[in-house]
Structure 1
Amino acid sequence: MTNEQKALQIAQEIVRKHVPTARCELQDYGHQIGCGDLDAWGNIQDVKLRRSHWNEDSFNHAGEVLKRKLATGGSTAG
C-alpha cells in the first residue's frame, strides 16, 4: 500500500465519523484527497485536502466542514 493509499484510507475513516455516507478519493495525480456526498437538494458537496494537510486534525476538520455543507446546501449563511 502506498503512502497516498494509506492517507486515503485514514481520511475515509475519519470523515465518515462525521458523514457516514461520504466517499473519499485520490485526486490530482495523488496530490489531493477529495471527500464528498450528495446533499438533500441533489447537489454534490465536497472538501479537498492537499498533501500538505494530510493529518488527523485536517481530516477531522474536513469532516466537520462537509457535514455543515451537506446540512446547508453549501451555504455559508446562518
Structure 2
Amino acid sequence: MTKRNDLLRKIGDAAKAAQLAWEVEREGGNHTIYNLGGKKIPIGRHAELGNRYAEMVYKQCEEVLGEGWWRK
C-alpha cells in the first residue's frame, strides 16, 4: 500500500525539481483535484492508496514530468 502523503510528496518534489506548479485546484466529491503544470490530476482522499492506483496517478503525471519519472 502507498500512503497518500508519500504519493503527494513524491509528485511535489518532482514538480519542484522541474520548476512546475503543484497545487490544489479544487475539492471534488471523493477526490482532490491537483494542478500539475496545467494538467489536472485527481487523487482519492483515502489515507492509503493501492500500489496500482499510485502507479496510475504517476502515469498521469508522465505527460508533464517525463516517462518513468517516478522510477528514477
The TM-score, its normalising length taken from structure 2, stands at 0.43
The TM-score, its normalising length taken from structure 1, stands at 0.41
